[in-house]
Chains A and B, each alone.
Chain A
Amino acid sequence: MTVAISSLLNRIRVSDSASGPIDAKEYFINMGPQHPATHGVLRLMLKLEGETIREVIPVPGYIHRGIEKIGESVNYRQFVHLTDRMDYLSAMMNNWAVAMGVERATNTVMNDRIEYIRTIFAELERIQSHMLWWGVLGMDLGAFTPFLYGFRDREKITDIFEETVGCRLTMNYIQPGGLMADIHPNFVTRVKEAMAYAKPKIDEYEELLSGNVILQERTKNIGVLSGADAISLGVTGPPLRASGVAYDLRKIEPYGVYDKVEFRTAVGSVGDCWDRYWVRVEEMRQSIGIVEQLIDNIPEGKFMLMKPAKKIIIPEGVYYNAIETARGVLGMVIASDGKSDKPVRIHMRSPNYNNLWAVDSMTRGSRVGDLVANISSLDFVVPDIDR
C-alpha cells in the first residue's frame, strides 16, 4: 500500500482550479518569506480574489535548523542551549521546559529558591514578550508609535536579564537541576523598580491603542475563532483563552510556584482579534501581580542541586511535560533508553507551530489587512514554528 505524496506546486494546482473571466479570476500571491508583517521568514501563499482572501497556505521551514535531530546527539544540559533559539521571546521558559522534563524524569525535587526565581523570570519574560507583541501589533496595524513604546518599556526588563543572566535575548539561565548562577544582588530592587514602572505603562498602552476607534474597528469581530475550532486546531495560549476556553497550564497543572500565588486567567468570549488583544494586555497585569507577590519572598537556598559535571541519565520510558510560555503550551516529549545520557528522541510540541494553522480558517473571506491583524494577534515567533 502506498500513499500519494503531494507537493506545494500540486497543492496550488488543486486550489487554482477555479476558472472565470480575467477580471474575476483568483490569483496567488506570496506573502513572505521576506515580508514586514510576518515577523521573520514565515511564508504564506494567499489565494486572492481582488483583495478578498479565499485561502491561506502557510509554508514554514525557512528557518528549520533540525533542533530535534541535534538533540539526539547532545546530552540534556547541552540541549537546553538550543531551546532558547526556538522561541527567543520565551527563552527561559523553553529552558525551563527541558529542565522540568529532566527533573521530573529523574525524580529530582527543586528547592523553593530555585522555583521562586524560575517563576519570577518566567513571568518577567512573559511581560516583556507581551510588551513587544503589543508594539508590533500596533505597527502591523499601521501605528508606528506603539512599537517604540513597547520596546522602550521592554528595555527595563531586559536590563534585569542582562544583569543576572548576562544576555538580553536568547537567555540561558535555567538548567536541569537548578539555575546557571545565583541572582544578582541588585535583582530584587531592580525588579521592584521595573514593576513599579511597568504598571502605569500598561494603562498608557490602553490609552494609546485600546481606546482607539480605528484599532477597535480593525480588531473587533475580525478573525473569529470559535472555542471548539480552537481546541480541535490545537491552538493554545492567549488565542485559546480568547476563544473562551480557560486553559492555562499555570492554573490547571501548576508548576514552579504558581500554586502559591494569586492570579486570574483572562478569558475572552468572542475569539476575535480584540479578545486576543485584551487577553494579552490583561495577562501583563496579572504577571506583574505574580512577580510582585513573589519578589519579596525569595527564600534562601542553593541555586544548583545537580552537579554540572555529573551525567544525567533518564530512566527508560517516554516522558511528557508542558509549560505555559507566552505563546501557548510548549510540550516536551523525551524518549530515553535508560542507558545513554542522550535522548533517543526529543520532541518539542511548539505552541507557534500548532497555532499557525488556525490562520487559514480565521482569515478566509476577509481582506489582506485582516490577515495582518490575525497574524499579529496570534503572535508568531517564526524560529519556534520551524525549530
Chain B
Amino acid sequence: MIPHAGYEVITLSDRANAALPESLWLSIGYMLLAVASTAAFMSVLGMALVYVERKVAAHFQCRLGPMRVGWHGILQSVADAIKLLLKEDLVPDRADRLLFFLAPAFSVLATLLALVLIPMSPTMQVVDLNIGVVFIAAVGGFGVLGILLGGWSSNNKWSLLGAMRAGAQFVSYEVSIILSLLVAVLFAGSLQLSEIVQSQADGWWIWRGHISGFIAFIIFVIASTAELNRPPFDLPEAESELTGGYHTEYSGLRFSFFFLSEFINMFIASALGATLFLGGWMPFHIGGLDGFNAVMDLIPPGVWFAGKTGFIIFLTMWVRWTFPRLRVDQLMRLEWKFLLPLGFTNLMVAACLILTDSYFFPL
C-alpha cells in the first residue's frame, strides 16, 4: 500500500515521545492534554449523543422531543446529567457491594481504552497502536465484564437474566465482528488504524472491495448493534421483559456510567465502521482521478470523519426506533446460522480478491 502523500499522521503520544528528549514537562503536558481531552470528549460526546438520540427518536415518532431547556432543548442533556449526579446512590440489600461498585467502572474503562485509538483526523488521535484493531476488539470484550458483574452483583433475578443474556449475546456476536474486521484488515494489509485509513486513499473498502467489502460492512453494522445492546438486539436490558435488565438496580451516577459507556460505545463502533470501511478521515477519492480527488481534499479530514460516523450513528438510531426486539433464541439463530457462515464465506471471497489483486479501482 502506498500511503497518501498529502497526510502525515501525528498522534498525541507521538508528540509526547518527540518532546521527551527536549523537555520532560512538555511531554507531560501532552500526556495531560491527552487525558483531559479524552475525558472531556467522552462526557461531552455522551451528552451530545443522548440529545441527538432523543431528537431523532422524537422526529421518527411525530413529536418534537426536548424543547424547553435552552434553544430547542439543547441543554436538556446537561440538566439530565446534573440530575443524575445529584440522585441518591442506592445499593440493594445483600448485593455484592464491591462488584456492584466496580461494574460501572469496568464498563467506562473499556470504553475509554477503545476511544483513545480512534483516528478522528491525521492529527486527532491519542495513540496509534500497530495492533489497533486487535486492541479495540480485546478491550471491547472487557466491557461486557462490567455488564455481567453488574447483573450478578445486584442480587436481582431480572438483572441476572439480563447479564446472562448479555454474556451469551456478546460471545456470539464478537465472532462476527472479528470476521468482518478481518476483511478490512486483509484489504488494508495492516492492523494499525491510521494505516488502514491511509490504505483507502484510492477508494473506500466498502466499494473497492467489490461485494465483499459491502457485505463485511453490513455484517459489522448488525453485529456491532448487537454488541452494543441496542434495539433490535437490546435483550440484556429489554425493558418490557426484564424491567431494565442488568442495570435495573442501578441509580444515579452509577447508572449514568452504564448509560454513558453505552452511548460512547455506539460512537466507537460507528467510528470503527467508518474507519475500516468508509475510509475514516480519508476524503472520497477515486484512484486515478487526480482532479476530482483534489476537489475532495478541500474538505478537511475531520469533517469527513464526523460525517461518516454520524451517518452510521444515524443508521443505528433509525433501526432502533423502527424495529421490534428479537427473542433470545432468534438472536442466537441469526448469529450462528446466518451471520457466521456468511462471514466466513465473505472472508474467503475477500482473500481470493486480494490474491488476484482485483480491486475495483484503480483499474
A27: nearest chain-B partner, CB-CB: B157
Given the known A-B contacts A148-B61, A367-B329, A368-B161, are A142 and B242 also in contact in the complex, defined by CB atoms under 8 Å? no
Q: Contact flags (1/0) for A196-224 with B, using CB distance below 8 Å?
A: 00000000000011001011011000000
Taking CB atoms, residues of chain A closer than 8 Å to B243 are 35-36
Given the known A-B contacts A36-B239, A36-B243, A218-B326, are A145 and B161 also in contact in the complex, defined by CB atoms under 8 Å? no
Residue A169 interfacial (CB < 8 Å): no
Q: Smallest CB–CB gap between B60 and chain A, Å? A: 6
Bound together, the chains give a CA A224 to CA B234 distance in angstroms of: 26
Is A36 in contact with B324, judged by CB distance below 8 angstroms? no
Q: Could you list 17 examples of A-B contacts with CB < 8 Å?
A: A29-B157, A29-B161, A141-B325, A142-B232, A142-B240, A142-B324, A143-B321, A143-B323, A144-B57, A145-B60, A145-B61, A152-B62, A208-B322, A209-B324, A217-B326, A369-B325, A369-B328
Q: Contact flags (1/0) for A20-48 with B, using CB distance below 8 Å?
A: 00000001010000011100000000000
Is A144 in contact with B61, judged by CB distance below 8 angstroms? yes
Is A148 in contact with B326, judged by CB distance below 8 angstroms? no
B165: nearest chain-A partner, CB-CB: A51
Interface residues on B, range: 20 to 34
Given the known A-B contacts A29-B158, A149-B62, A214-B232, are A138 and B324 also in contact in the complex, defined by CB atoms under 8 Å? yes
Is A37 in contact with B240, judged by CB distance below 8 angstroms? yes
Q: Smallest CB–CB gap between A111 and chain B, Å? A: 42
Is B325 in contact with A142, judged by CB distance below 8 angstroms? yes
Is A143 in contact with B324, judged by CB distance below 8 angstroms? yes
Residue A386 interfacial (CB < 8 Å): no
Is B327 in contact with A367, judged by CB distance below 8 angstroms? yes
Residue B8 interfacial (CB < 8 Å): no
Q: Smallest CB–CB gap between B238 and chain A, Å? A: 7
Within 8 A of A (CB), among B208-261: 231-232, 234-235, 238-243
Given the known A-B contacts A36-B239, A142-B232, A368-B241, are A215 and B324 also in contact in the complex, defined by CB atoms under 8 Å? yes
Within 8 A of A (CB), among B115-165: 157-158, 161, 165
Is B240 in contact with A217, judged by CB distance below 8 angstroms? no
Taking CB atoms, residues of chain B closer than 8 Å to A142 are 231-232, 234, 238, 240, 323-325
Residue B94 interfacial (CB < 8 Å): no
The 3 closest A-B CB pairs, nearest first, are A142-B325, A141-B324, A143-B324
Q: Smallest CB–CB gap between A383 and chain B, Å? A: 20
Is B327 in contact with A145, judged by CB distance below 8 angstroms? no
Q: Contact flags (1/0) for A350-370 with B, using CB distance below 8 Å?
A: 000000000000000001111
Q: Contact flags (1/0) for A125-141 with B, using CB distance below 8 Å?
A: 00000000000001111
Residue A372 interfacial (CB < 8 Å): yes
Is B234 in contact with A149, judged by CB distance below 8 angstroms? no
Residue B337 interfacial (CB < 8 Å): no
Q: Smallest CB–CB gap between B271 and chain A, Å? A: 26
Within 8 A of B (CB), among A213-262: 214-215, 217-218
Taking CB atoms, residues of chain A closer than 8 Å to B62 are 148-149, 152
Is B161 in contact with A51, judged by CB distance below 8 angstroms? yes
Within 8 A of A (CB), among B89-103: none
Residue B356 interfacial (CB < 8 Å): no
Given the known A-B contacts A143-B325, A218-B327, are A372 and B61 also in contact in the complex, defined by CB atoms under 8 Å? no
Bound together, the chains give a CA A372 to CA B322 distance in angstroms of: 19
Residue B63 interfacial (CB < 8 Å): yes
Q: Contact flags (1/0) for B308-343 with A, using CB distance below 8 Å?
A: 000000000000011111111110000000000000
Which residue in B61, B157, B165, B328 is a CB contact (below 8 Å) of A149?
A: B61
Q: Smallest CB–CB gap between B66 and chain A, Å? A: 15
Given the known A-B contacts A36-B243, A144-B321, A149-B62, are A370 and B327 also in contact in the complex, defined by CB atoms under 8 Å? yes
Taking CB atoms, residues of chain B closer than 8 Å to A208 are 322
Q: Smallest CB–CB gap between B248 and chain A, Å? A: 11
Q: Smallest CB–CB gap between A230 and chain B, Å? A: 24
Q: Smallest CB–CB gap between A335 and chain B, Å? A: 42
Bound together, the chains give a CA A35 to CA B158 distance in angstroms of: 11
Is B158 in contact with A369, judged by CB distance below 8 angstroms? no
Taking CB atoms, residues of chain A closer than 8 Å to B60 are 145
Taking CB atoms, residues of chain B closer than 8 Å to A372 are 240-241
Taking CB atoms, residues of chain A closer than 8 Å to B232 are 142, 214
Given the known A-B contacts A217-B326, A370-B327, are A145 and B242 also in contact in the complex, defined by CB atoms under 8 Å? no
Taking CB atoms, residues of chain B closer than 8 Å to A140 are 240
Which residue in A139, A152, A214 is a CB contact (below 8 Å) of B240?
A: A139
Bound together, the chains give a CA A145 to CA B321 distance in angstroms of: 6
Which residue in B161, B241, B321 is a CB contact (below 8 Å) of A37?
A: B241
Bound together, the chains give a CA A145 to CA B325 distance in angstroms of: 12
Taking CB atoms, residues of chain A closer than 8 Å to B322 are 143, 145, 208
Taking CB atoms, residues of chain B closer than 8 Å to A29 are 157-158, 161
Given the known A-B contacts A143-B322, A148-B62, are A217 and B157 also in contact in the complex, defined by CB atoms under 8 Å? no
Bound together, the chains give a CA A325 to CA B242 distance in angstroms of: 31
Taking CB atoms, residues of chain A closer than 8 Å to B329 are 367
A38: nearest chain-B partner, CB-CB: B240
Bound together, the chains give a CA A208 to CA B323 distance in angstroms of: 9
Taking CB atoms, residues of chain A closer than 8 Å to B240 are 36-37, 139-142, 372
Which residue in B165, B242, B323, B328 is a CB contact (below 8 Å) of A214?
A: B323
Taking CB atoms, residues of chain A closer than 8 Å to B235 are 369
Taking CB atoms, residues of chain B closer than 8 Å to A138 are 324
List 8 other contacts, CB 8 Å, given A139-B240, A143-B231: A29-B158, A138-B324, A142-B323, A212-B323, A212-B324, A367-B327, A367-B329, A368-B161
B327: nearest chain-A partner, CB-CB: A369
Bound together, the chains give a CA A370 to CA B323 distance in angstroms of: 17
B323: nearest chain-A partner, CB-CB: A214
Q: Smallest CB–CB gap between B120 and chain A, Å? A: 31
Bound together, the chains give a CA A367 to CA B165 distance in angstroms of: 12
Taking CB atoms, residues of chain A closer than 8 Å to B325 are 141-143, 214, 218, 369
A46: nearest chain-B partner, CB-CB: B157
Bound together, the chains give a CA A102 to CA B157 distance in angstroms of: 50
The residue among A142, A215, A217 with the most chain B CB atoms within 10 A of its own CB is A142
Taking CB atoms, residues of chain A closer than 8 Å to B241 are 37, 368-369, 371-372
Bound together, the chains give a CA A152 to CA B329 distance in angstroms of: 34
Bound together, the chains give a CA A138 to CA B324 distance in angstroms of: 7
Is A217 in contact with B234, judged by CB distance below 8 angstroms? no
Taking CB atoms, residues of chain B closer than 8 Å to A37 are 240-241
Q: Smallest CB–CB gap between B43 and chain A, Å? A: 26
Bound together, the chains give a CA A37 to CA B330 distance in angstroms of: 20
Given the known A-B contacts A142-B234, A144-B61, A149-B61, are A218 and B242 also in contact in the complex, defined by CB atoms under 8 Å? no
Q: Smallest CB–CB gap between A54 and chain B, Å? A: 15
Is A214 in contact with B326, judged by CB distance below 8 angstroms? yes
Bound together, the chains give a CA A141 to CA B158 distance in angstroms of: 17
The residue among B157, B323, B330 with the most chain A CB atoms within 10 A of its own CB is B323
The residue among B234, B323, B324 with the most chain A CB atoms within 10 A of its own CB is B324
